[in-house]
């Protein structure tokens, strides 16, 4: 019960990593706010927690709107109390060819994947500063440390998330607030499954992705949530502005070996 009576906000908690993380926090005693744009999934996760005698509140939230995010944090304070922990998990995949991609797609990617993270931080920091204590974990990506071809502009936004994390961490560390980020690799989530379904042979695409991993499989949401839980706990209060890579070793590879053996 590391998080007994702690108030935790998880954005994008209606599925995938966010869902698993929210449920784990609740099992360890936290009061969890499910902040998601999808009412059906958000309520579903909230009900899962409530039926297990946990404490959860669903608040429909569009992280691309600061007004909406701020209202969600205000409702959190009214229902549960001032937030102790924020997990900025909400995100979308936007991939396109740079010169052919409409400006609207660029803006859509950044509005969720970077602005959404900043808006979450901006909304909770005043509450945390009043207590001189708080924790924020921003979910970045391996796209934030290496470039995978044909994924523009997603990696640009994720590089920004890591930069934002470091900048805020330095400014608020002396005020009792720790801010870090986590960069997952290929994780078996609904959003990844939807990506595979866009391919001519989804099963083949999945197998190819798995074979690219040194570990020969994709990660699980449990494996990411476990690290987020550790980063949010008092067990790692000396970790400031870090970006933890949890990717099964995929970013250790510069390229695939070819038949010539050339380096």
Sequence spans of domains, the chain? 7-249
pLDDT of residue 262: 37
Residue 234's φ and ψ, nearest 5 degrees, are -75, 0
pLDDT of residue 254: 63
- Report, in angstroms and rounded to the nearest whole number, the Rg of the chain calculated over CA atoms: 18
pLDDT band at 165 (very low <50, low <70, confident <90, very high): very high
The answer on pLDDT for 187 being more than 50 is yes
In whole angstroms, what is the distance from residue 67 CA to residue 222 CA? 31
pLDDT of residue 120: 98
pLDDT of residue 191: 85
The candidate with the shortest Cα–Cα distance to 134, out of 2, 260, 232, 10, is 232
Residues identified as active-site: 154
**Picking from 133-142, 171-180, 200-209, which range would have the lowest pLDDT averaged per residue?**
200-209
Q: What is the pLDDT of the chain when averaged over all its residues?
A: 94
Q: Tell me the average pLDDT across 26-50.
A: 98
The answer on pLDDT for 52 being more than 50 is yes
pLDDT digits (tens, 9 = 90+) for 210-263: 998 999 999 999 999 999 999 999 999 999 999 999 999 999 986 554 333 334
7-249: CATH number: 3.40.50.720
pLDDT of residue 261: 35
The answer on pLDDT for 132 being more than 80 is yes
Higher pLDDT, 105 or 262: 105
Q: Are 58 and 43 in contact (CB under 8 A)?
A: yes
At residue 187, the 3 state secondary structure works out as strand
Beta strands in the chain (DSSP E): 7-11, 31-36, 55-60, 85-88, 134-139, 177-184, 243-246
pLDDT band at 83 (very low <50, low <70, confident <90, very high): very high
Q: What percent of the chain has pLDDT over 90?
A: 90
pLDDT of residue 259: 38
pLDDT band at 46 (very low <50, low <70, confident <90, very high): very high
In whole angstroms, what is the distance from residue 115 CA to residue 184 CA? 19
pLDDT of residue 253: 81
pLDDT of residue 141: 97
pLDDT of residue 148: 87
């Amino acid at each position: 019960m590391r998080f007994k009576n702690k108030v935790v906000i998880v954005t994008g908690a209606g599925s995938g990593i966010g869902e698993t993380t929210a449920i784990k926090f609740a099992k360890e005693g936290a009061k969890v706010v499910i902040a998601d744009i999808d009412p059906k999934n958000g309520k579903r996760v909230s009900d899962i927690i409530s039926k297990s005698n946990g404490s959860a509140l669903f608040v429909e939230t569009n992280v691309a709107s600061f007004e909406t995010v701020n209202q969600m944090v205000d409702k959190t304070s009214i229902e549960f109390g001032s937030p102790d922990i924020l997990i900025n998990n909400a995100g979308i995949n936007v991939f396109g060819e740079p010169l052919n991609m409409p400006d609207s797609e660029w803006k859509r990617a950044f509005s969720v994947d970077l602005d959404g993270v900043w808006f979450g931080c901006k909304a909770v920091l005043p509450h945390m500063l009043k207590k001189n204590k708080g924790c924020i974990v921003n979910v970045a990506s391996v796209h934030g440390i290496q470039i995978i071809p044909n994924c523009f502009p997603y990696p640009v936004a994720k590089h920004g998330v890591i930069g934002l994390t470091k900048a805020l961490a330095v400014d608020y560390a002396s005020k009792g607030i720790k801010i870090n980020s986590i960069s997952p690799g290929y994780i078996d989530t609904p959003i990844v499954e939807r990506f595979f379904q866009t391919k001519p042979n989804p099963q083949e695409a999945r197998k190819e992705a798995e074979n690219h991993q040194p570990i020969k499989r994709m990660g699980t949401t449990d494996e990411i949530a476990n690290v987020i839980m550790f980063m949010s706990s008092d067990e790692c209060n000396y970790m400031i502005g870090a970006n933890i890579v949890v990717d099964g070793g995929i970013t250790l590879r510069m390229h695939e070996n070819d038949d010539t053996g050339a380096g």
